[in-house]
Amino acid sequence: MAEALKLKVVDEFQVSPPQDSVPTTTLPLSFFDIPFLFISQGKRIFFYEFPHPTHHFMEAVLPHLKQSLSLTLKHFFPVAANIVFPPQPNKPHVLFDSGSSSVSFTVAESTADFNYLITDSPRAVSSVDPFVPKIPPARVLDDGTRLFPLLAIQATVIPNSGFSICIRFHHGIGDGMAFQHFVRSWAFQCKKLISTKPEEEEEGGKHSSLPIFNNGSTIPDPNGVELCFLNFLWKWTPALLKMADGSGSEFNSTHNSVNVDATFKVTQTHIDKLKQLISLKFYNGNESESEPVEKAPLRLSTFVVSCALIWVCLAKSEENTYIDDEEPYNFTFVADCRGRFEFSSVPATYFGNCVAPVYATLKRKEIVGENGIVEAAKAIRNKIKELEKNGVLKVAERWMLDAIEKTTTKHNVMVAGSPKLGVYEMDFGWGSPKKSDVLGNPGSILISLSESKDKNLGGIEVGVGLEKTQMNNFIQTFDQTLKIL
């Protein structure tokens, strides 16, 4: 049961790269970055066990966190920069000022119950809110230019139990893979400071690879998508600014308020059974004659079958008294474009946004029907195959319009994270996280995916945030579905 929390700010400071290590630098945004300039900020929290008092954290942990962060910012300096959004027709860009750019870092102490915070059971969203840092608001210059800070960090100590590191970041600077690259490098630097074990030095190649930034030609744009996005951005700027600061209603979701979240485990055994079930039922004789039925066993990814399971359980968990069976249900996710044929020159270490939005849609009667999981898997898989066949750029010009039309509908689920990001590898020197969560935003149904922290079970963890009544329904539906498997 959640209790009233007392949170005391212990320290606040700014962290910059080592002095004179990074010159003042301007970086262009790519067309991948522009759609993310005004969406909600990302929030990722890590909980670590730490059975020591606050003064021990301040003396033994905080100095290493600060020093390693400074060293990491030498290579990941854009996260300490600002996005500069000047008046039309000038383009938005990233500006790192060697004299002033820094990351806001807050240290706090909480009376919260650490075991409640790391539970997989339903947890009040409000119980985690105090652990989330605030990114300083945008500054507006005399000529109307806006400067958006990009990242803030808060470490919160729960004396004699544990501590959390919560990072809030502006998606305009990078996607989930870029963000995890930064955090992984920071964790590696911190662990290296407190340990000189040779085997940890050898692991440095994986954890400390240097990022590659956009130099204006890193991301090819043969179709001129950037100009299309900029024109859209300039047209919608007033409304988008209201959406960015939460004061506008133009694009507000109609979802009920999300007030509880929980974590669900889909084990490797469950995944294997889902793949088998969906593969057997995938083809029902209604396929297009131009696409012959596959005779070989169907290849289904863990992502497809897990998302199909969660999507169906979410739809079935809704109070459906007033829902039309013909209503569309959208499922929104992103596909990493690094290495795809149009972007084969973009390295895996590229730091920025390099993802394409993908939208799968079903009618309610399809997703809650007898073969709902199969239909959901079909819809998600077909959209992925369509992207692979047609390429990323074919429908890129519609991304910003689709983001407004599809993600703000009544029945929309958005996916964050990925089992490939390795969130439970984020060891700063005090062990792996006891729990890591993506924190959602009011009014949106967000599911987050990560690898399982229990390597014996394998599979994935799924974080879900819902209104309390729907969460109870979801738990019942989820458990029943796994039992049927």
Q: Output the domain CATH number for residue 274.
A: 3.30.559.10
Q: Are residues 205 and 288 in the same domain?
A: no
| Res 74: pLDDT | 97
Report the candidate in 219, 185, 216, 183 with the shortest Cα–Cα distance to residue 354: 219
- How many structural domains compose the chain? 2
Q: Are residues 182 and 289 in the same domain?
A: no
Q: Are residues 266 and 239 in the same domain?
A: no
Given a cut of 50, the residues of the chain with pLDDT beneath it are 1-3, 202, 204-205, 246-255, 285-294
- What pLDDT, in 10s, does the model give residues 61-119? 999 999 999 999 999 999 999 999 999 899 999 999 999 999 999 999 999 999 999 99
- The C-alpha atoms of residue 262 and residue 270 are separated, in whole angstroms, by 19
Q: Are residues 231 and 307 in the same domain?
A: no
Q: Is residue 250 part of a domain?
A: no
Q: Are residues 233 and 267 in the same domain?
A: no
| Res 258: pLDDT | 80
| Res 320: pLDDT | 72
Q: Are residues 284 and 206 in the same domain?
A: no
What contacts 136, CB < 8 A, 6 or more positions away? 104, 149, 152
3-state secondary structure of 336: strand
Q: Are residues 350 and 395 in the same domain?
A: yes
- Domain of 394 in residue numbering reads as 260-484
| Res 198: pLDDT | 53
Q: Is residue 396 part of a domain?
A: yes
| Res 287: pLDDT | 46
| Res 369: pLDDT | 92
Q: Are residues 19 and 149 in the same domain?
A: yes
CA 301 to chain centre: 20
Q: Which of 219, 244, 269 is the last residue of a domain?
A: 244
Q: Is residue 350 part of a domain?
A: yes
| Res 371: pLDDT | 92
Q: Are residues 270 and 391 in the same domain?
A: yes
Is the whole model's pTM more than 0.85, yes or no? Answer: yes
| Res 44: pLDDT | 96
Three-state secondary structure of 14-52: EECCCCCCCCCEEEECCCCCHHHCCCCCEEEEEEEECCC
